[in-house]
Structure 1
């Protein structure tokens, strides 16, 4: 039986392609010349320039409407993409065609968690870009179709106090989630185990806003058999797009290895947070594991409990709460396709699973999402289906139907 008509799909992980005026329309005049701007390169491709750096749009980020045989890593022009990639009004039409009611759209040019602005040489410019992107997402993208987009923000991660201030600002504008690096360490920042992030965790707890941890947002991507030269240059902690741009992946494993291992990023992140002590200190924290899959969650709960049983006596590990309890309380698993995870959904928790569409990326099945999601849930009771495709996302995001 297909999805019932009253069940709306809320995708907790889609993506948008920033149009060329996102920053020029919003930055103070003193930043426009060095700020993000689209330039046509010598090969006729559209690439972002910021300060003295160049950032191409990698082709796999905008393949909606293409056959897999047409996929590629080469940079794109905007006229190589269908308008729904960068136009929120056109996107709603694509969502209607796909049978999707609402979507949470992560950044593209800034990196999923704002990595590009973290690396800005002029941190005042970086902060202005963060604010400009957030205002674009809330006031233009989401406001174009109220109720159809989940407002998301990014933060100036190099400055915790500035991050606190920006979180409060966007919370007052109606943001429902914030994209945060799945691990800050590869970006050169303190780990989840430090007290560095505590002022920010306190505001997330106070506001009830969940933290979205998107695969690869911390810049580490597993699965590359890195050459010695790439490792020496920090290649192990560069994103897929950066390493392809720099030509550092030519003699390494294909990106297919990384794509197949994407869930391992969020396994690492989850266990890191579970043993950090922060979930006990801030018991209201909520984490969305974007594009992380769900099939691994029962295993990691079992394994973490086994480690806790045997090794908590000589380490600063909480004696009162088992890791599996913390996982069940603080984390929401997010999947695109995961047959094994759905078979083990009761081990994960029916109220802790959310569905993703991933438009316009290469894992998306647009325009057949509703059909294929429905087929994948044929053996699941209707009340559980409704929780997975809609109600869990609305609850954790505090995003009711209009």
Structure 2
């Protein structure tokens, strides 16, 4: 390989600074909007795909953590939120404070420095406290306040996290009010006007108590994305439940099959008819890896062809699902040697690279070395497309891989 291109990571994460909502919500909401409280951690489990922490009262025994408090929600910062810089053996399910995490998790200058160490040019970052598609605000009792919180997050994302101090190296990814597709469409258009080209969405909305994409309920949102060129980004776990097999399965089971939700979701989209209705729509699956894609496409094509009479999609899916995939769907990976050996069956143009900073699975600070080892058999122009070229085209970045806000 001549040289490994500077990486454009389409799946990193930000740990929101403590003041995001206090700084942006009206003062009357400061005591009820999202805020950080330092308190003991009584216990915390992550079994069967469910995360269950219990907050202690002041003076209780237990390790101290910083907690996000919002309505009835008490959610601690955890080592799994920000594990880079720690030995693999030291990464445990435990609560932490801001002082115990790597500053690049929440600080723009330190993030850019860590990107430099990792050969990363630019990065798209998913949220932490709002969860991967804003479930925190969707589940809130007060949706009026939830909408204010969501818009405050989007403003912080665009104006501060991806603001002037980021020098175009951080790419904005915004949230929508999932409880109202018309409001969601307005938020997509509001952010598109300032140059945002990616929005979070749930991989399997019915798991959040929301309509499926087989209905027409989401059409205002989908139309807004289609017309503005806004990519729908779905992260594993954005249905609020990681894949698992039983209520007592250890986290290792779910970690092995994290791609499963992406698999279910992609088949949903391919069989929904939405790509026929919205021909410019693009979707991407963050942290889902890519090795599973060839078989699913093969199977979907067989079902589409052979089960036309009773499959329920003949009148709305007018082309083989594999053709729709090639035009509309992107798989994202950070460590998938098998997928790269089967790239021809996926499509060079449908693959994006990521580093997953600062999570426990992250390849930081060796994302370049991992990429070189796994892509060494590929031509230089193919590596260029996977590592940066496809992301530039999809997200409307400059030729240098930078994000530029829309002109006022």
Q: State the TM-score, normalized to the length of structure 2.
A: 0.90
Count of aligned pairs between the two proteins: 375
SS in 2 for 1:213: strand
**Deviating more after overlay: 378-387 vs 23-32:** 23-32
Task: Note the C-alpha offset of 1:224.
Answer: 4.1
Q: Does 1:122 align with 2:142?
A: yes
Partner of 1:175, secondary structure, is: coil
What is the aligned partner in structure 1 of residue 100 from structure 2?
80
Q: Which residue in 1 is equivalent to 2:36?
A: 38
Secondary structure of 2:335's counterpart equals coil
Q: How does 1:83-102 map to 2 (within 5 A)?
A: 83-102=103-122
Are residues 1:267 and 2:263 paired? yes
Residue 223 (structure 2) aligns with = 202
- SS of match in other structure, 1:389: helix
Higher helix share: 1
User: CA offset at residue 315 of structure 1?
Assistant: 3.5
2:389 is the counterpart of 1:368: no
The 1:314/1:22 distance shift into structure 2, 3 A limit, reads same
Contact kept? 1:224, 1:254, Cα under 8 Å: no
Deviations 1:135-160 (A, max 9, x none): 11110001121221111101111111
Report the counterpart of residue 52 of structure 1 in structure 2: 72
Q: Which has the higher strand share?
A: 2
CA deviations 1:268-294 (Å, max 9, x no partner) are 000001111111111111001111111
1:150 counterpart residue number? 171
Distance 1:333 1:267 in 2: 10
Distance in 1 (CA, whole Å) between partners of 2:13 and 2:2 is 26
How far apart, in 2, do the equivalents of 1:268 and 1:46 lie?
Answer: 35
In the other structure, the counterpart of 1:12 is 10
Q: How does 1:283-322 map to 2 (within 5 A)?
A: 283-318=279-314, 320-322=318-320
Instruction: Report Cα offsets for 1:82-125 as digits up to 9, x if no partner.
Output: 10011011000000011111110100011010000101111111
**Residue 63 of structure 1: which of 83, 86, 89 is its match?**
83
Q: Distance in 2 between matches of 1:136 and 1:356?
A: 23
| Corresponding position of 1:337 | 335
Following TM superposition, the consecutive aligned residue runs of length 4 or more in structure 1 with deviations greater than 6 angstroms are none
Give the Cα separation in 1 of the matches to 2:388 and 2:254: 29
Q: Give distance in 2, aligned partners of 1:351 and 1:62.
A: 31
The TM-score with structure 1 as length reference comes to 0.91
Per-residue displacement from partner, 1:357-376 (whole Å, max 9, x unpaired)?
00000111211111221222
Q: Deviations over 1:192-244 (max 9, x none)?
A: 10000001111100001110011111112111411xxxxxxxxxxxxxxxxxx
d(CA) in 1 for partners of 2:357, 2:260: 22
Query: Aligned to 1:127, what secondary structure does the other structure show?
Result: helix
- Structure 1 stretch 295-304 or stretch 363-372: which is displaced more? 363-372
Gaps of 5+ in 2: 41-62, 403-408
Conserved? CA contact 2:233–2:283, under 8 Å: yes
Q: State the alpha-carbon separation in 1 of the partners of residues 11 and 73 from structure 2.
A: 28
Check whether the contact 2:2–2:380 (CA below 8 A) recurs between aligned residues.
no
Q: 1:51 to 1:287 in 2, by over 3 A?
A: same
